Amino acid sequence: MRFCPEHLRRATAAAFLPLFFIFASGAVAQTPVQPEQPASSDASPSTAATASSDATASATTTPSTAATPSIDEFINDDRILGLIPNFLTVEDPTAKVPPLTVKQKFQLFAKETFDPFTVLSAAAGAALSQVDNDNPKYGVGSGPYAERFGAAAADITTQNFFQDAVLASWFHEDPRYFRRGPEFGVWYRVGYALSRVVVTRTDAGNDRFNFSGILGMGMGIALSNAYYPDSSVRGSEVAYRFATSAVASALTNLLPEFWPDIHEKFFHHKPHNPPPSP
């Protein structure tokens, strides 16, 4: 049977849209609703009345105090070499940090994706692809370069969206990287960093298979078939893109694992600690 890239594109779109709405609606549904605290039955009438009036005044005058804290309070704002965002890293391995809420995971996705470095990364990736007319094979010239740049930006955005926002919320997984630190040997830390592609931490603090990372990567690559040229959506090409994405994700974990050691040694910088769990 003859392979038809156009049929693959249509099948991708037909399968992708229902999955997107299912996962997105499920992720939103994960947000817990805080139950109202009942008034104590043994409180005196005057005490209950005072508490009721205080609660009413607090609700009407300072509603923002009950809002979910901003993601900026729970992430590392450091940049590797002053340029590469290190938002996903918990640098201090001894810190007990609270899990991210669904809202904070979506905020984290937005913060890491809509960053100036994302534009630079997409431009550099498009340039490397342009040199040898590599995937995606749009051709040569300024027009194909613009298409490559748009495809690279879309690839980064969709994979971040599926991995760190939608699926991390759905599977109750933490998209951050929890480094091991200098208390462990170098080769152990290298192995740990590389293994985080397939192993992740849950919101409960346990390690398990990285469903959000692997499935999110696959969903992003599947969606890219809708805008990649025909020569780049064949089975072997898709498999190659998945393999290179997995290897790249593993290798990039080495930077946040060892960067704090380098930074502290040469710049006397201490790890950034998110607020501890209450």
Q: Which two tokens stand for residue 228?
A: 């990649």
CB 160 within 8 A of CB 230: no
DSSP conformation letters of 81-136: TTTEE-TTEE--TT--PPPPPHHHHHHHHHHHHSSHHHHHHHHHHHHHHHHTT-SS
Q: Distance between CA atoms of 8 and 235, rounded to whole angstroms?
A: 10
pTM assigned to the model: 0.72
- Burial (CB count within 10 angstroms: exposed 0-12, middle 13-18, buried 19+), residue 242: middle
Q: Which amino acid is at 168?
A: A
Going by C-alpha positions, the residue among 87, 145, 107, 83 that lies closest to residue 31 is: 107
Q: What is the pLDDT of residue 264?
A: 81
Q: Tell how far CA 271 is from the center of its chain.
A: 21
Distance in angstroms (rounded) separating the CA atoms of residues 198 and 269:
30
Q: What is the pLDDT of residue 221?
A: 93
C-beta neighbour count of 143 within 10 angstroms? 10
Which pLDDT does position 169 carry in this prediction?
A: 97
- List the chain residues with pLDDT less than 70: 1-74, 268-278
Q: What is the pLDDT of residues 166-191, one digit of tens each?
A: 999 999 999 999 999 999 999 999 99
Q: Give start and end residues of each alpha helix (H) in 171-253.
A: 186-195, 211-224, 235-252
pLDDT at residue number 276? 54
47: Cβ–Cβ under 8 A, 6 or more apart, which residues? none
**Is 39 exposed, middle or buried, given 0-12, 13-18 or 19+ CB atoms closer than 10 A?**
exposed
Helix (H, G, I), strand (E, B) or coil at 60: helix
**Quick one: DSSP state of residue 85?**
E
For 24, the token pair is 């997105």
C-alpha span between 260 and 182 (Å, rounded): 10
From residue 240, alpha-carbon distances to 15, 66, 153, 207, 234 in Å are 21, 47, 19, 28, 10
Residue 177's pLDDT is what? Answer: 94
Q: What is the pLDDT of residue 273?
A: 54
Single out the residue of 216, 211, 273, 262 nearest to residue 84, CA to CA: 262
- DSSP tally for the chain: helices H, then strands E: 10, 7
